[in-house]
């Protein structure tokens, strides 16, 4: 009875570069003696044409044997670990120098450098550059998180190895080690990015709050001037009932209306805005850091301060919508549809609830084993934010 052949998957492989050198330098008999399991996994067929004529048949035979071994190995993996196990080993065998991760790592480095340069800029100008850069990096996050999820699934698929033949055990152990290395690398990238993002978001929010407070002082003076003009307008409107000087009173009234409109428009245009896109970016930064232990540990103080800044700016966002409605009601000379503004004001208080509802959907759609845990964490963060938010006047008035 013939001995059953083994795959000898534990044998160390030679690199493609060394194999190319061996083809060019080894005698034919030594080249033919190379075990197929020692050959590189991805050998281009062009290597056959590059080989010297006297060893081309040997190289072709080696490639056929290598491919045959690869097929047998894949079938054994599938028989023992199923399709998920086969996909896990494919994931582990992929190069770690993936374009997505390489680009993400490069952008992360550029973000840190940009943050240093922005220290020397005017705050609001630097904040715009940093915010735009964060938004660009965020576009890469879905692909990075997809890689992370694929690795997580692969590690789960390779957990049960008790019944594996010895021929496959070392192969699976190496695959698990590579998956762990890739997982740790992605976790480090994400931890670095989330801590940078929350630190920058805290800084941007601090600058915005400072600008708002300065602007409010200036607006109080403008509001007083508008009230004085309105009082003058009321006085002039009473004079229109008099039988003399009517034309002059009309001209003066029109001039006052124009002044009121111009000042009101100036107040609106010069307003320090807070919009939904920014609030979403800052909420993302807060949630992402809170869900990542490494990032939270690194940026604990920035996360704590960012939460309070965010609540202040969320309140200011709602107040700005209400102020727009009041502005329309108080100044009939500004042509804005008040129904749209008032409707927007009513919806603004649902902003944080809608945001977390979307986050829960995203977590569930990941279909990962950690999705339930992640959803619980999201619920916890939402509860904490709402608890503090309800203490703000705009939810209790």
Q: What is the pLDDT of residue 1?
A: 39
- CA 222/CA 376 separation, integer angstroms: 48
Say how far apart CA 250 and CA 239 lie, in whole Å: 9
- Tens-digit pLDDT profile for residues 330-347: 444 444 455 544 444 445
pLDDT, position 250? 74
Domain ranges of the chain: 16-93, 106-396
What is the pLDDT at residue 112?
95
Residue 365: band (very low, low, confident or very high) from pLDDT cuts 50, 70, 90 = low
* Whether pLDDT at 393 is above 60: no
Of 73, 39, 48, 56, nearest in space to 168 by CA: 73
Q: What is the pTM of this model?
A: 0.72
* Stronger pLDDT, 108 or 250, i.e. the higher one: 108
pLDDT-wise least confident of 76-85, 100-109, 314-323: 314-323
Contacts of 270 (CB under 8 A, 6+ apart): 215, 218
Question: In this structure, what token pair is assigned to residue 397?
Answer: 């008035």
- Alpha-carbon span 92 to 88, nearest angstrom: 6
Of the candidates 144, 145, 142, 152, the residue with the CA atom closest to the CA atom of residue 180: 152
Q: Mean pLDDT across the stretch 285-310?
A: 93
> Residue 220: pLDDT band by 50, 70, 90 thresholds?
confident
Tell me what pLDDT residue 261 has: 82
**Residue-wise pLDDT tens digits, 235-248:** 777 766 666 556 77
Q: How confident is the model at residue 286 (pLDDT cuts 50, 70, 90)?
A: very high
| Among candidate residues 69, 107, 98, 241, the one with its CA nearest the CA of residue 181 | 98
Six token digits for residue 190: 């994400």
Cα–Cα distance between 309 and 299 in angstroms, integer? 15
pLDDT digits (tens, 9 = 90+) for 261-281: 877 776 665 677 788 899 999
Q: Could you tell me which residue, 231 or 6, shows the higher pLDDT? A: 231
Confidence grade of residue 377 (pLDDT, cut at 50, 70, 90): confident
Tell whether the model's pLDDT for residue 203 goes beyond 90: yes
Looking at the predicted structure, is the pLDDT value of residue 316 above 90? Answer: no
CB 283 within 8 A of CB 382: no
DSSP string, 10-34: TSPPPPHHHHHHHHHHS-HHHHHTS
pLDDT digits (tens, 9 = 90+) for 158-194: 887 667 777 778 788 888 898 999 999 999 999 999 9
Phi and psi angles of residue 163, each rounded to the nearest 5 degrees, phi first: -100, 10
148 touches 368 (CB < 8 A) = no
Q: Which residues contact 119 (CB under 8 A, 6 or more apart)?
A: 126
Query: CB 50: neighbour CB atoms within 10 A?
Result: 12
Q: 260: how many CB neighbours lie within 10 A of its CB?
A: 21
Q: What is d(CA 37, CA 70) in angstroms, rounded to the nearest whole number? A: 9
pLDDT tens track for 132-154: 999 999 999 999 998 988 898 88
């Amino acid at each position: 009875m013939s001995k059953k052949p083994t795959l000898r998957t534990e044998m160390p492989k030679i690199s493609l570069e060394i194999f190319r050198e061996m083809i060019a330098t080894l005698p034919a008999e030594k080249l033919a003696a190379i075990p197929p399991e020692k050959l590189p996994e991805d050998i281009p067929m062009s290597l056959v044409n590059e080989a010297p004529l006297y060893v081309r048949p040997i190289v072709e035979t080696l490639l056929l044997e290598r491919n045959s071994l690869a097929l047998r190995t894949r079938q054994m993996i599938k028989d023992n670990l199923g399709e998920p196990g086969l996909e896990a080993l494919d994931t582990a065998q992929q190069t770690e120098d993936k374009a997505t991760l390489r680009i993400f790592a490069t952008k992360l480095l550029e973000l840190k450098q940009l943050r240093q340069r922005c220290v020397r800029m005017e705050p609001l100008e630097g904040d715009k550059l940093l915010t735009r850069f964060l938004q660009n990096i965020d576009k890469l996050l879905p692909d990075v998180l997809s890689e992370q999820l694929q690795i997580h699934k692969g590690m789960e698929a390779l957990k049960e190895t008790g019944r594996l033949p010895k021929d496959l055990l070392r192969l699976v152990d190496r695959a698990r080690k590579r998956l762990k290395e890739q997982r740790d690398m992605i976790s480090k990238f994400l931890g670095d990015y989330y801590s940078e993002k929350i630190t920058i978001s805290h800084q941007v929010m601090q600058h915005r709050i400072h600008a708002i407070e300065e602007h409010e002082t200036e607006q109080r003076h403008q509001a007083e001037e508008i009230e004085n003009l309105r009082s003058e307008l009321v006085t002039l409107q009473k004079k229109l009932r008099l039988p003399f000087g009517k034309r002059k009173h009309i001209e003066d009234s029109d001039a006052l209306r124009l002044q009121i409109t111009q000042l009101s428009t100036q107040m609106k245009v010069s307003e320090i805005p807070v919009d939904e896109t920014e609030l979403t970016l800052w909420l993302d930064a807060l949630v992402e850091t809170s869900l990542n232990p490494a990032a939270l540990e690194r940026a604990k103080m920035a996360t704590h301060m960012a939460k309070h800044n965010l609540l202040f700016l969320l309140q200011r966002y709602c107040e700005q919508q209400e102020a727009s409605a009041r502005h329309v009601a108080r100044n009939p000379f500004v042509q804005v549809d008040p129904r749209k503004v008032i409707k927007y004001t009513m919806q603004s208080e649902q902003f944080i609830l809608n945001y977390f509802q979307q986050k829960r959907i995203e977590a569930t759609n990941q279909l990962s084993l950690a999705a339930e845990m992640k959803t619980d964490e999201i619920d916890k963060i939402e509860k904490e934010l709402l608890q503090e938010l309800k203490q703000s006047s705009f939810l209790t008035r």
